[in-house]
Amino acid sequence: MKNREEKRYRINRKGFTLIELLVVMVILAMLAALVGPKLFGQVGKASQKTAKTQIEMLGQALDAYRLDTGHYPNTSEGLNALVTNPGDDKWDGPYLKKALPNDPWKKPYQYQSPGTHGDYDLFSYGADGAPGGEGENKDVNSWD
């Protein structure tokens, strides 16, 4: 008789108990608490690297513009001169294959020519949109 009751108990037991589910959920929560912050910290670094890469790409386009026209676009012409002719007869653009990109934080890149650090200054203020900062808020520029 005892053998039949054990078989019936095993057959009827098809799911997980509430305690088993809670233990699994606690383990998953602990893993997420350990791994999550490390992954989110990488997002800020990736945005900084993306901004640096885009600034280098825009710098190459500005250099091509200068080779054709003999000068960099001035501050009032801005980076739009890489996409549309500002009225220069020597312009042989567009110098970008796609539209002018915003920085990774969806803000336009800042451009000044002549710049205080060279022929032009090209920079992004980072995630906070304000000068200075650290981490993801750090400014990304063309002269560093």
Burial class (CB in 10 A: 0-12, 13-18, 19+), 75: middle
Whole-prediction pTM: 0.70
Please say if the pLDDT value at position 35 is more than 60. Answer: yes
Q: Over the stretch 52-88, which tens digit does the pLDDT of each residue have?
A: 999 999 999 999 999 999 999 999 999 999 999 999 8
The answer to whether residue 101 sits within a structural domain is yes
The answer to whether residue 93 sits within a structural domain is yes
Which contacts qualify for 60-65: CB closer than 8 Å, 24 or more apart? 61/95, 61/96, 62/95, 62/120, 62/122, 64/95, 65/91, 65/93, 65/95
Tokens of 122: 């090209």
Tokens of 99: 């539209």
Q: Over the stretch 87-120, which tens digit does the pLDDT of each residue have?
A: 989 999 899 999 999 999 999 999 999 989 999 9
The answer to whether residue 61 sits within a structural domain is yes
The answer to whether residue 133 sits within a structural domain is yes
The answer to whether residue 28 sits within a structural domain is no
The answer to whether residue 75 sits within a structural domain is yes
The answer to whether residue 16 sits within a structural domain is no
Give me the pLDDT at residue 123, please: 95
Give me the pLDDT at residue 5, please: 63
Give me the pLDDT at residue 31, please: 86
Q: What is the mean pLDDT of residues 24-38?
A: 83
The answer to whether residue 86 sits within a structural domain is yes
Task: Assign residue 133 the CATH number of its domain.
Answer: 3.30.700.10
Q: What is the mean pLDDT of residues 128-140?
A: 86
Structural domain harbouring 126:
46-141
Q: What is the mean pLDDT of the chain?
A: 86
Question: Per the structure, how many domains does the chain have?
Answer: 1
What amino acid occupies position 114? P
